[in-house]
Amino acid sequence: MITRRVFVGSLAGGLLAAPLAAEAQQATKIARIGYLATNRAGGNPHQREAFLQGLRDLGYVEGRNVVIEYRDAEGKFERLLALAAELVALKVDVIVTASTAATLAATRATRTLPIVFAVAVDPVADGLVTSLARPGGNVTGLTGLTPELVGKRLELLTQAVPGVGRVAVLWHPGGQGERTAKDMLKGADVAARALGVPLQVVEVRGPADFDGAFSDMTRARAGALTVLGSSMLFGEHRRLVDLAAKNRLPAVYTLREYVDAGGLMSYGPNLVEMSRRAATYVDKILKGAKPGELPIEQPTKFELVINLKTAKALGLTIPPSLLGRADEVIQ
């Protein structure tokens, strides 16, 4: 026989057990993240690890409460759309992209699944978002504001190489959105006119064009080089640095990875830090935030990195005033 006291106790226990069970089920829910890269091996191998560290800092542990589906195009841009479609078919909760090219592919694959880009050159110009403050749609993330830095890099290069007669501008047609590419080239032209330095714009559509491009620079007697942002160029950054050294061209680059590989100097955002910060967007989305309502994060600091070993090999003496402004000097 069940007494009233036992019955009430059982009822109360059942009522308590229901929310506890729901909490336990929610706590054990495993998030599924898709990670789409253009060329991890040729780019920055620390970029993905930085993103994972950002997740760990927020309590996510791969294999415990989060599963990550990795897809890498290995430098073959034509594969990005198919890889993005694979992630969509797997019904991941969010797709993280490691380059503008990967983001553009992901937006073609889905207009509903949340997408977080760890880095984008100019997401508004490339049509990824409506505005930085209110992205709209299913995309958000971090921007490096590269077009705005083109002129600054050219200025820094002329300070490192006083009296340079001509500067070559290496760019990859199709590497960015059409408007972004125009903005970058315009930024270089405006800065060059202000500095009184003639430019030589050199196009490369793939690695097969590199040797010919540097031959063109030599024939035009370029005295220095600036490399514009592109996933393809970044994926080949070690070869570009080697060619610049072989042709004795002082060069300024978009990211410090070029300088770590032996390039002369770089000025731009920290790609590893941006990748780590991308995890905060993923966390918010997994907790219910809508990507279209999460403002695009802009860099608060740009790093100037100079390689003195490379400068010495080129016969350059970097002015003390420029060295004093550097965030890091590689001896």
- Residues 103-141: tens digit of each pLDDT: 999 999 999 999 999 988 889 988 899 999 999 999 999
- % residues pLDDT > 90 (the chain): 74
User: E strand or H helix at 33, and its extent?
Assistant: strand 31-37
CB count within 10 Å of CB 123 equals 27
Same domain, 164 and 231: yes
pLDDT at position 292 over 90: yes
- What does the CA dihedral 127, 130, 135, 138 come to, rounded to 10 degrees? -60
pLDDT at position 91 over 70: yes
CATH at residue 233: 3.40.50.2300
Same domain, 250 and 278: no
Could you give the CA distance from residue 292 to residue 93 in angstroms, rounded to a whole number? 15
Same domain, 107 and 247: no
The mean-pLDDT minimum among 47-51, 85-89, 277-281 falls in 47-51
Same domain, 38 and 50: yes
User: Whole-prediction pTM value?
Assistant: 0.84
Structural domain for 263, as ranges: 147-268+303-330
pLDDT at position 8 over 60: no
> Quick check: is 16 in a domain?
no
Give the mean model confidence (pLDDT) for residues 256-281.
Answer: 95
pLDDT at position 229 over 70: yes
Angstrom CA distances, 193 to 77, 144, 197, 265, stand at 35, 25, 6, 22
Same domain, 236 and 247: yes
Which DSSP state fits 296?
Answer: P
pLDDT at position 282 over 90: yes
The reported pLDDT for the residue numbered 189 is 95
Q: How many domains does the chain have?
A: 2
pLDDT at position 74 over 90: no
Same domain, 140 and 50: yes
> Quick check: is 286 in a domain?
yes
- % residues pLDDT > 70 (the chain): 90
Same domain, 154 and 218: yes
> Quick check: is 20 in a domain?
no
Same domain, 83 and 129: yes
